Structure 1
Amino acid sequence: MNKLLDDHFADLPIKPDFSGSALVMRQDDILFERQQGYANRAEQIEHQTSTRFGIASGCKLFTAIAICQLVEQGKVAFTSTLSECLPIDFPTFDPSVTVEQLLTHTSGIPDYFDESVMDDFEDLWRTRPMYHIRQLRDFLPMFQHEPMRQESGVFQYNNAGYILLGLIVEQASGLTFSDYIERFVFKPAGMTASGYFSLDALPANTALGYIDNADGSWRTNHYSIPVKGGADGGAFVTARDMANLWSALLGHRLLGEEMTSRLFTPHIKVNDKGTHYGYGLWIQLESNRHVFKYHVMGYDPGVSFHSAYYPATETISVVCSNESDGAFDMMKAIEMKAGVSS
């Protein structure tokens, strides 16, 4: 299926092996929409506009929005420490670690999946059954008693920090994390098809994630990721739902204007190439001054995802794939054709 409403995308180079959904919108206009490949290879069920995709770490933004909502309500403060927010013992953690440091990956706490020393997420589940990971507290034994990874204040991407933020959402709201997000983020954003679904109970129109082997064979990712996603990743969305999320956030339907601005603020410099981090999202600056894009991304075995908002052109792009790579190349091709490449 290919819907083309803008001539800029007439010759968009799409690799024949791309499997997923891509969408480009400007305000309420769909400029480009494409689905290619199979949501279910064995049954040869093709992707549709209604196909839901796992987005891995792409949904850290949802967690950050939830925390900001609770701050607006006075239930949490960015300066609150872990001991003030959670009745859980972290014997080796720096007691001064704050909510804001967790949001910006500057807490220094240990991570259950340290991407600076590990590159295979599947390794986590070789001796630890992934089907036991169904709620946020199930992650705690993987890092709760480990020593601090580094001093607070320095950026180091950290999944465990977002697990703790999810637990803070639960403690402050009295709801499970997934119930909170579905009620106070997805619903007001018009994300009617999105949710935190268990791999052993996926709803209709949900793409299976696929891992391709070197010999040409493949397998699903059902034994390669937690059975249910949480505050650091693992929600399922449609491409159009993700575009709705950007529109709702930018239209102040999820947060007030002041809090939205704070979420989009470059709080920490990540590298010398203009990359910064806000709350739950990446920010790419041009000449270290002007914002080129706000974006989120996610990678898991059988999952690759990119989505961005480009303020200069008020354009939203979403690329979801049910394979371990492919989303990045598609995103770059879209940026070139949309005239928003840096």
Structure 2
Amino acid sequence: MRTNPYRFIYACIFVLLSVMLRAQTANENQQIDKLVKRFVDLDQFSGSILVAKKGNIVLSKGYGLANREWNVANATNTKFRIASLTKQFTAMLVMQLYQEGKIDLSGHISDYLPYYRKDIGTRVTIHQLLSHTSGLGDFGSRDDFWEICKTEYAPREFVEKYCSGNLEAEPGLRYRYSNSGYYILGAIIESLRAKPHHEVLKERILDVIGMNNSGMEMRKEVVGGQASGYNLQYGKYTKPDYVNLYAVIFSAGGMYSTVGDLLKWDRALYTEQLLSNKNLELMFKPNMEKYAYGIVVNKMKIPELAFTSDFSSHTGAINGFRSIIVRESSQQQVIIILGNTAPGSTIVDLSPLSNKIYSVVNGLHYENPKPEIVQAMALKIINGSVDEGISFYRKEKAQKNGRFEFNLIEGELNTLGYYLLSQGKKAEALEIFKLNTTEFPLSWNVFDSYAEALEAAGQKKDSIKNYKRSIELNADNTHAKERLKLLTEK
């Protein structure tokens, strides 16, 4: 009987490699788990995380509480609002229409929505809506946005009322993130499919790839297993304001999902289940600011790695929730993070956590998370005085001992100033805004905020001075121009 003398050796090698791979995965799992727990201990994360390589799960786990009233823990199957991660699904539905010959990427809004204002609808293309180069504004930037969020609208009504303003830039000339553009795309999808958007999403994507724990969140719908969202501001948890998600956010960010379902989405993008390879390449082709269709695409050579990292990613933020998906396609790695605590002091995303997880998975150096300096400073102000807080900040900055995180200071200080203003502490707020102008003397926004606070405090002369300085730094600051006009006319 003939035998292969190498068969036993091959089998041993295969078993050895399998054992080594399992050991490596277990080690990565432990390292990531330890890292995430540090973020949790610092109140910088609550939610669920999934990390996978080529579809094989390295870690899938819930952290923190899905419901603080009942002390219910987050789990791997907890559902979260995913906010702007929705945009890549909307883009996929548009690309499917394109593949079927039902929409032209160079076609215009008015070709598909006859009711849209013609002076703009005949100039803005589908490609420009997908790539955020339409020149349209963003309904999320409206002063009355939070009031709008409480109301019920049909898609056409919302488009006509809040997505049909004047252009803020010439179409195709520059990148400007626009939720309005993606809302319009959802209305176009409904029109061409002759079905409600949530049904199209379910039939064309979710059912096809088995995303059974995902969907569009409908008004008054009870979604089983869904986490509650919370804001966290200076050590205190609060409930976020109500948002009528389907009516107001819609195809720009109205979905919920789980980390497991988003892994199915990741895997489907390596196949032709939803779209041909040719059209997937078109969907993931970067345009201005590296934004493709519904996702940011970025190639990066990290010196310590033998391969060129090919990233596609997106973040999401809505009241009480944060999300991020990072796909590295050359090695088929994916990091999915869904959170149900939004830091009320800032709109920071989950990138610091995802970046450190990527470092663990690829054997790169990373630093453990640290407490944020402005958070610590705020507690000293709230529990003591503004002088004590600013003195603490300056001392820690001068010592450079690495105890605190000093990134994103400008935004953190600005938000602290507005928080103090909202609490009726005008003098303390002014000191914080003033500190921000000395820390960031070339930022038009900090001078605009300081001027706004001075105006609220009745200090007209100094308010005018700082609005003028903001305009010097940014001639396009329409807010400062409008306030300056009103102040000088009084």
TM tier relative to shorter chain: 0.7 to 0.9
C-alpha distance in 2 between matches for 1:317 and 1:28: 11
The question of 1:104 aligning with 2:128 is answered no
Given the alignment of the two structures, is residue 196 of structure 1 paired with residue 216 of structure 2, yes or no?
Answer: yes
Residues 110 and 269 from structure 1, CA distance in 2 versus in 1: closer, same or farther, beyond 3 angstroms? closer
Cα 1:218–1:199, aligned 2, differ >3 Å: closer, same or farther? farther
TM-score (norm 2): 0.62
Q: Superposition pairs for residues 248-327 of structure 1, below 5 Å?
A: 248-266=268-286, 268-270=287-289, 276-286=290-300, 292-325=310-343, 327=350
Residues 140-151 of structure 1: pairs in structure 2 closer than 5 A: 140-151=159-170
Determine if the alignment matches structure 1 residue 187 to structure 2 residue 207.
Answer: yes
> Which residue of structure 1 aligns with residue 57 of structure 2?
30
Matched, 1:335 2:358: yes
SS of the counterpart of 1:319?
Answer: strand
**CA 1:312/1:257 → structure 2, altered by over 3 Å: closer, same or farther?**
closer
Indicate the SS of the match to 2:317: strand
| C-alpha separation in 1, matches of 2:108 and 2:330 | 37
Q: Within 5 Å, give how 1:233-248 maps onto structure 2.
A: 233-248=253-268
Q: Distance in 2 between matches of 1:321 and 1:230?
A: 20
* Match status 1:93 vs 2:120: yes
**Do structure 1's residue 230 and structure 2's residue 244 form an aligned pair?**
no
Structure 2: distance between partners of 1:196 and 1:178: 6
**1:144 and 1:34, CA in 2 relative to 1: closer, same or farther beyond 3 A?**
closer
TM-superposed deviation, 1:34: 1.8
**Alignment partner for residue 74 of structure 1, among 79, 101, 121?**
101
Larger radius of gyration: 2
* Structure 1 residue ranges without an equivalent (≥5): 271-275
Change (3 A) 1:227 1:96: closer
The answer to which of 197-206 and 21-30 deviates more is 197-206
Give the Å deviation of 1:144.
4.1
The 8 Å contact of residues 90 and 144 in structure 1, kept in 2 or not, is answered as no
- The total of aligned residue pairs comes to 324
Counterparts of 2:237 and 2:269, CA distance in 1:
41
Distance 2:139 2:310 in 1: 32
Mapped contact 2:323–2:339 kept (Cα < 8 A): yes
User: Is 2:308–2:330's contact at 8 Å kept on the other side of the alignment?
Assistant: no
Structure 1 residue 76 displacement after superposition: 0.6
Q: Which amino acid aligns with 1:150?
A: A
Higher relative contact order (CA 8 A, sep 6+): 1
Question: 1:189, 1:68 → 2: CA distance?
Answer: 17
Counterpart amino acid of residue 148 in structure 1: L
Distance 1:55 1:210, change over 3 A: same
Shift in Å, 1:227: 5.5
The change in CA–CA distance for 1:264 and 1:227 in structure 2 (over 3 A counts) is closer
SS at 1:279's partner residue? coil
Write the deviation string for residues 32-54 of structure 1: whole angstroms up to 9, x where unpaired: 11211111110111112211100
Contact map agreement 2:311 2:326 (CA 8 A) in 1:
yes
Decide whether aligned partners of structure 1 residues 330 and 53 sit closer, same or farther in structure 2, where only a CA change above 3 A counts.
Answer: same
Are the structure 2 counterparts of residues 230 and 129 from structure 1 closer, same or farther at C-alpha, using a change threshold of 3 Å? closer
For residue 450 of structure 2, what is the aligned residue in structure 1?
none
> 1:256-311 CA deviation, whole Å, 9 max, x = no partner?
11111111111x131xxxxx111110012226995531112101121110002102
Change (3 A) 1:93 1:282: same
How far does residue 254 in structure 1 lie from its aligned partner after superposition? 0.5
Alpha-carbon distance, 1:8 to partner: 2.1
Pairwise CA distance, 1:88: 1.4
Residue 291 to residue 92, structure 1, CA distance change in 2 (3 Å): farther
Q: Sequence identity, in percent?
A: 24
Q: Choose from 156, 160, 172 the match for 1:137.
A: 156
Following the alignment from structure 1 to structure 2, what is the Cα–Cα distance between the partners of residues 159 and 340? Answer: 37
The alpha-carbon deviation at position 213 of structure 1 amounts to: 3.5
Alignment match, 1:273: none
CA distance in 2, matches of 1:282, 1:10: 30
Q: Which amino acid is 1:218 matched to?
A: T
| Alignment of structure 1 residues 164-183 onto 2, 5 Å | 164-183=184-203
Structure 1 stretches of 4+ moved >4 Å:
287-291
Indicate how the Cα distance of structure 1 residues 246 and 217 shifts in structure 2: closer, same or farther if over 3 A, else same.
Answer: closer
Q: Which protein is richer in helix relative to its size?
A: 2
- Greater strand percent: which structure? 1
- 2:231: which partner in 1? 211
- Residues 179 and 43 of structure 1, relative CA distance in 2, 3 Å threshold: same
In the alignment, is the contact (CA less than 8 A) between 2:230 and 2:237 conserved in 1?
Answer: no
Structure 2: runs of 5+ lacking an equivalent: 1-23, 344-348, 366-490
> Secondary structure, in 3 states, of the residue corresponding to 2:205?
helix
How far apart in 2 are the matches of 1:42 and 1:218?
Answer: 11
Return the letter of the residue paired with 1:143: Y
- Does the 8 Å CA contact 2:109/2:116 hold for their aligned counterparts? no
TM-score, normalising length from structure 1? 0.87
